[in-house]
């Protein structure tokens, strides 16, 4: 039996929590198939569907996308490639009202991530949520609170946490192989071409533009927003540091375990083009300082640039580039137990499915709290960039003491009906 969207949205928090706990109490039999829905299936969400659909114990039961053309094409592909005939939904509220769905994966634009995750957990569903886990620091904390309050599995889409190569690197790091780490660096290089806005445009008939905007302030439609360049506009995305940065920020957090910093400085801009409509920088340097003095840096370059290691750690006895270790004489320290390569998308999805079937949120390799810290490291860099000055942060309270201007950027205004609930 399915509850209506109206019923789902009218449930009080107590009723929603009770429904969620009842769902969590399910005991999975050896032959039971988990019914999974994928939200936002043009790109990354389709990778979710293929990874999960390859398992015998998973049924791709539903697909959801605000673009009817994308939805129709993916439904046809699901039937051919996965042997599934999924239900299709344009509106996630209708999907979440379907109580036959056990879990969802989410690959929407960033501005939808937290609300989609919270609504899903309130409806008693476990969630695989793509990076960045949030659009702002405040709403990331609400997502963490929701996962705890509703007792759901929340897997952050940091698939390297399920990669044996990186797991081994962390294991070696824990032995003190390069001494005490004093500086971590995340390098994000990749060319992004310029673009500009045409004159007034009408949304294509297949796209529900109002629903696509969801929690964000209403803007006129432009083809430059859909389906990718929304990354470079503050109402929808978080720039390149919020696009690829969370992967590397999560790795650094995993390795050095410092949480969020106490001071952040950022500088940058849009370089190399005479005309570019983006709002976020294509070049950005971010420096974080943690309470114990440890440093962390992001280097973002979206112009012509060399290929560089994505993560570098500097220690008192050597250094690490990606998952390779070197001593103080720059000689590589060999590893006799180096694991082989795996499909990290599949491995991370497998971990999520196993955590769901075990009813164990703690079994997820990338939890809500870890995703919140990874995203927060990127958000803090953007706040300092937008203010064009250093900011001082209290990581325990997650506020900027005495700084109203910076505190205003910890959250955003929501369109009526699309507010992220305050849970923490």
The alpha carbon torsion through 50, 67, 225, 37 (nearest 10 deg) reads -40
Instruction: Say if residue 87 is in the same domain as residue 31.
Output: yes
pLDDT digits (tens, 9 = 90+) for 188-223: 999 999 998 877 799 999 999 999 999 999 999 999
Q: Would you state the pLDDT for residue 9?
A: 58
Instruction: Say if residue 178 is in the same domain as residue 257.
Output: yes
Burial class (CB in 10 A: 0-12, 13-18, 19+), 11: middle
Instruction: Say if residue 313 is in the same domain as residue 228.
Output: yes
Instruction: Say if residue 270 is in the same domain as residue 401.
Output: yes
Higher-confidence position of 25 and 413? 413
Residue 282 has pLDDT above 90, yes or no: yes
Is residue 133 within 8 Å of 372, Cβ to Cβ?
yes
Higher-confidence position of 15 and 314? 314
Q: Is residue 206 a part of any domain in this protein?
A: yes
Number of domains in the chain: 2
Is residue 405 within 8 Å of 387, Cβ to Cβ?
yes
Instruction: Say if residue 131 is in the same domain as residue 242.
Output: no
CATH code where residue 263 lies: 3.30.360.10
Instruction: Say if residue 118 is in the same domain as residue 151.
Output: yes
Instruction: Say if residue 266 is in the same domain as residue 404.
Output: yes
CATH code where residue 63 lies: 3.40.50.720
Instruction: Say if residue 195 is in the same domain as residue 156.
Output: no
Residue 252 has pLDDT above 50, yes or no: yes
Instruction: Say if residue 253 is in the same domain as residue 323.
Output: yes
Q: How far apart are CA 157 and CA 91, in angstroms?
A: 22
Instruction: Say if residue 20 is in the same domain as residue 129.
Output: yes
Read off the pTM. Answer: 0.94
Q: Would you state the pLDDT for residue 415?
A: 96
Unique residue bearing structure tokens 């300082």: 289
Instruction: Say if residue 280 is in the same domain as residue 301.
Output: yes
Q: Would you state the pLDDT for residue 202?
A: 94
Q: Is residue 419 a part of any domain in this protein?
A: no
Q: Would you state the pLDDT for residue 16?
A: 46
Read off the pLDDT of each residue in 118-135 and give the average, rounded to a whole number.
98
How confident is residue 24, by pLDDT bands cut at 50, 70 and 90?
low
Instruction: Say if residue 386 is in the same domain as residue 263.
Output: yes
Domain that holds residue 392: 163-335+373-410
Q: Is residue 150 a part of any domain in this protein?
A: yes
Read off the pLDDT of each residue in 337-346 and give the average, rounded to a whole number.
92
pLDDT digits (tens, 9 = 90+) for 234-247: 999 999 999 999 99
Residue 1 has pLDDT above 70, yes or no: no
Q: Would you state the pLDDT for residue 309?
A: 80
């Amino acid at each position: 039996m399915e509850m209506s969207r109206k019923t789902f949205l009218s449930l009080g928090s107590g009723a929603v929590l009770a429904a969620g706990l009842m769902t969590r109490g399910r005991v999975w039999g050896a032959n039971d198939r988990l019914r999974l829905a994928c939200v936002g299936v043009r790109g990354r969400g389709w990778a979710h569907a293929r990874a999960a659909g390859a398992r015998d114990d998973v049924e791709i039961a539903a697909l959801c996308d605000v673009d009817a053309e994308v939805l129709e094409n993916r439904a046809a592909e699901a039937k051919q490639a996965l042997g599934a005939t999924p239900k299709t939904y344009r509106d996630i509220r209708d999907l979440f009202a379907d109580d036959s769905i056990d879990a969802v994966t989410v690959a929407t634009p960033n501005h939808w991530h937290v609300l989609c995750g919270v609504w899903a957990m309130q409806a008693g569903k476990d969630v695989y949520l793509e990076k960045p886990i949030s659009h702002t620091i405040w709403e990331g904390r609400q997502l963490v609170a929701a996962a705890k309050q509703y007792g759901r599995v929340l897997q952050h889409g940091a698939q390297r946490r399920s990669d044996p190569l990186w797991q081994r690197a962390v294991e070696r790091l824990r032995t003190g192989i390069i001494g005490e780490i004093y500086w971590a660096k995340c390098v994000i290089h990749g060319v992004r071409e310029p673009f500009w806005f045409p004159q007034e445009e009408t949304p294509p008939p297949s796209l529900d533009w109002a629903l696509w905007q969801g929690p964000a302030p209403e803007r006129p439609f432009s083809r430059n927003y859909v389906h990718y360049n929304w990354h470079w506009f503050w109402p929808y995305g978080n720039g390149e540091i919020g696009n690829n940065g969370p992967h590397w920020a999560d790795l650094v957090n995993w390795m050095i375990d410092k949480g969020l910093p106490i001071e952040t400085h950022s500088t940058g801009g849009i370089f190399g083009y005479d005309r570019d409509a983006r709002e976020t920088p294509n070049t950005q340097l971010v420096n974080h300082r943690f309470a114990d003095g440890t440093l962390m840096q992001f280097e973002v370059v979206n112009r012509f640039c060399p290929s560089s290691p994505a993560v570098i750690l500097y220690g008192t006895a050597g250094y690490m580039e990606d998952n390779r270790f070197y001593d103080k004489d720059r000689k590589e320290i060999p590893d006799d137990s180096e694991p082989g390569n795996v499909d990290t998308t599949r491995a991370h999805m497998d971990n999520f499915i196993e955590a769901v079937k075990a009813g164990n949120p703690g079994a997820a390799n990338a939890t809500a709290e870890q995703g919140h810290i990874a995203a927060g490291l990127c958000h803090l860099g953007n706040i300092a960039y937008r203010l064009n000055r250093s900011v001082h942060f209290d990581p325990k309270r997650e506020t900027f003491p005495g700084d109203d201007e910076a505190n205003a950027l910890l959250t955003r205004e929501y369109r009526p009906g699309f507010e992220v609930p305050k849970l923490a």
